[in-house]
Amino acid sequence: MADAVASGVPTQRLRRGDLYAPFHGVRAPASTHLDGLELARAFAARSTDEFVFAHATAAKLWDFPMPSWLERGTDLHVLHLRGGRAPRGRGVVGHKTSKRLVPERVEGLDATSPIDTWLMLAPSLTVDELIVAGDRLLQWRGELATKEAMDDAIRARTGARGIRNARLAFDEIRAGSRSPRETLTRLAITRGGLPEPTLNAPIVLLNGNVVHGDLVWRSWRLVLEYEGEQHLYDDAQWASDLRRYNDLSAAGWVTIRITKRMLPPEIVAATARALRSRGWRAR
């Protein structure tokens, strides 16, 4: 708003009904709805470098999977880096910290680092929700952190709010997941008393080609694959999938095929049957 006035726009023009104020000092056309990223950019344009985006806003910028109640939130979460007064007002939730945090750049904006963001969410999320978000930090071909760095950060925050949940989640976070569904399937399988799979592990076929299975048990040459719905309208994709399954079978692998409509108990039961057929026995 200050920029508009400095450019010669009359103050009364900025108060007309065709504009709205998502937060103090910013005006946008009333006919539009600014999404989270647009709101963040608008706020950043009027703030100083002492403030960075944090908590749920930083999580959205880093593309964390979050529960729907947090994902739907439109408030901007802003942190004062130097421990000063947290900004607050309509549409803005202020945070402050006594820790010395080093912000990182994401989507052209300054935000708390992926690890700091994850730890800020710890008081608000369940352990499983933290595991899903934590797997995102170690995502296959898109990692945002290392597990060693996460461990160091947890140890440095002894006594902080939510740190117990963070520690519990940390023990079950694994590298290599590509989606929340893969993470939740892995958790259901291991909590069902079955061996832990490796996520998106490479499998060498007889022709020398390498494919990556969603969940892999190498010792039993067993792979679990999510069956998407592309084949319903994409014959080429369906043919490619069938070729892949045939190649895996020729290489001595058994494939469990599941869909998003299958519930965890059904997936665990199918996995247990397949493992037993390959020689696995429960202890």
Is 50 exceeded by the pLDDT of residue 31? no
Q: Which of 49-63, 76-90, 114-128, 160-174 has the lowest mean pLDDT?
A: 76-90
Q: Residue 228 has which token pair?
A: 């998407």
What pLDDT is recorded for position 196?
A: 98
Q: What is the pTM of this model?
A: 0.86
Read off the DSSP letter of residue 98.
Answer: S
For residues 69 and 41, the model is more confident at 69
Terminal Cα-to-Cα distance of the chain (whole angstroms): 68
Tens-place pLDDT, residues 58-71: 999 999 999 999 99
Q: Let me know: does 150 contact 115? Beta carbons within 8 Å.
A: yes
Q: Let me know: does 214 contact 253? Beta carbons within 8 Å.
A: no
Is 70 exceeded by the pLDDT of residue 18? no
Mean predicted lDDT score pLDDT of the chain: 88
Arithmetic mean of pLDDT, 6-18: 48
What pLDDT is recorded for position 21?
A: 56
What pLDDT is recorded for position 34?
A: 60
CA 39/CA 34 separation, integer angstroms:
6
Read off the DSSP letter of residue 79.
Answer: E
Arithmetic mean of pLDDT, 95-103: 86
CA 76/CA 96 separation, integer angstroms:
14
Q: Residue 147 has which token pair?
A: 């597990």
- The hierarchical CATH code for the domain 180-277 is 3.40.960
Is 80 exceeded by the pLDDT of residue 78? yes
CA 42/CA 27 separation, integer angstroms:
9
Strands (E) in the chain, as ranges, are: 19-20, 28-29, 51-53, 76-80, 92-96, 104-106, 109-111, 198-204, 210-217, 222-226, 254-258
Report the phi/psi class of residue 8: left, alpha or beta, with left for phi > 0 and alpha for psi in -120 to 50.
left
Q: Which of 17-26, 226-235, 244-253, 259-268 has the lowest mean pLDDT?
A: 17-26
Q: Residue-wise over 6-35: b if at least 16 C-beta within 10 A, else e?
A: eeeeeeeeeeeeebeebbeebbeeeeeebe
CA 167/CA 140 separation, integer angstroms:
22
What pLDDT is recorded for position 152?
A: 97
Out of 36-50, 78-92, 160-174, give the one with best mean pLDDT: 160-174
Q: Let me know: does 280 contact 220? Beta carbons within 8 Å.
A: yes
What pLDDT is recorded for position 195?
A: 98
Domain-by-domain residue ranges, the chain?
A: 2-170, 180-277
Which residues make beta-bridge pairs with 256? 224
Pairing of strands 104-106, 198-204: unpaired
Is 90 exceeded by the pLDDT of residue 168? yes
Is 70 exceeded by the pLDDT of residue 1? no
Is 80 exceeded by the pLDDT of residue 24? no
What pLDDT is recorded for position 26?
A: 61
What pLDDT is recorded for position 5?
A: 40
Q: Let me know: does 183 contact 190? Beta carbons within 8 Å.
A: no
Is 70 exceeded by the pLDDT of residue 49? no
What pLDDT is recorded for position 220?
A: 98
Is 60 exceeded by the pLDDT of residue 8? no
Is 80 exceeded by the pLDDT of residue 15? no
Binned at pLDDT 50, 70 and 90, residue 38 comes out as confident
Is 50 exceeded by the pLDDT of residue 120? yes
Binned at pLDDT 50, 70 and 90, residue 46 comes out as confident
CA 283/CA 281 separation, integer angstroms:
6
What pLDDT is recorded for position 141?
A: 86
> Among residues of the chain, what percentage have pLDDT more than 70?
85
With tokens 């002894």, the residue in question is 158
Residue 207 burial (10 A CB sphere; 0-12, 13-18, 19+): exposed
Residue 206 burial (10 A CB sphere; 0-12, 13-18, 19+): exposed
CA 184/CA 214 separation, integer angstroms:
12
Read off the DSSP letter of residue 85.
Answer: P
